[in-house]
Amino acid sequence: MKPHILDTLHQARNALDALLANPAALAAIGDAGDALVNAFRQGKRVFSCGNGGSMCDAMHFAEELSGRYRLNRKALPAASISDPSHISCVGNDYGYEAIFSRYLEAHAGQGDVLLAISTSGSSKNVLAAVKEAKALGMVVVALTGRAGSVIGELADIDVCTPGGQYADRVQELHIKVIHILIESVERELFPENYA
């Protein structure tokens, strides 16, 4: 067996063990789930954004809320900011830093929630989205990978999951958190799916 296979799995296990041993991060996950539940109960919408793999995670998060996670239930109003025509238009006219914030300006409002995903916690376009969300009176949940990041500091709730030297371990923890958030929403709003 190639040694990097076991090394990678051990690193992933160590990152997960570190998250399990972090009471502040676990509490933040619970708070983030509550924020999502409260928004949906009030008829508000949830938006998500990120770059690269984090955009894929933002899309995954939104589609499992508007589509389904495990069992059938009512669709929930969630959208990732990932429309290529919007991104190319705004990127061309206003610059790449505005691709997420401009979308929120057009579609979001007070009491909506933004899930802002950035492994570094410093992505400029995600930061611009966080600032716009705060100006709109949205609740901002950050999903980051570095403690004390600028995005995490601005967010109402920072779910910080340091995973090691590289972003891939952080992303692996992010998808676990995303699934927990979706399950948290379903358990509150659709308890029959967990009976």
119 is in an annotated binding site: yes
Cα separation, 191 vs 76, whole angstroms: 15
Look at phi and psi of residue 137 and say left if phi exceeds 0, alpha if psi is from -120 to 50, else beta: left
The one-letter code for the residue type at 133 is: A
Task: Return the ∠ at Cα 78 (arms to 24 and 193), rounded to 5°.
Answer: 75
Residue with tokens 């057009």: 106
53 known member of a binding site: yes
Measured distance CA(2)–CA(65) in Å, rounded:
39
118 marked as binding residue: yes
Q: Give the span between the Cα atoms of 50 and 52, in whole angstroms.
A: 7
Determine if residue 4 is labeled as part of a ligand binding site: no
93 is in an annotated binding site: yes
Q: Is 92 labelled as part of a ligand binding site?
A: yes
Place of tokens 């025509």: 85
Q: Per the annotation, does 179 bind a ligand? A: yes
Residue 144 in marked binding region: no
DSSP codes, 5-71: HHHHHHHHHHHHHHHHT-HHHHHHHHHHHHHHHHHHHTT--EEEE-STHHHHHHHHHHHHHHS-SSS
Residue positions forming the annotated binding site for substrate: 51-53, 64, 92-93, 118-120, 123, 171
Residue positions forming the annotated binding site: 51-53, 60, 64, 92-93, 118-120, 123, 171, 179
Residue positions forming the annotated binding site for Zn(2+): 60, 64, 171, 179
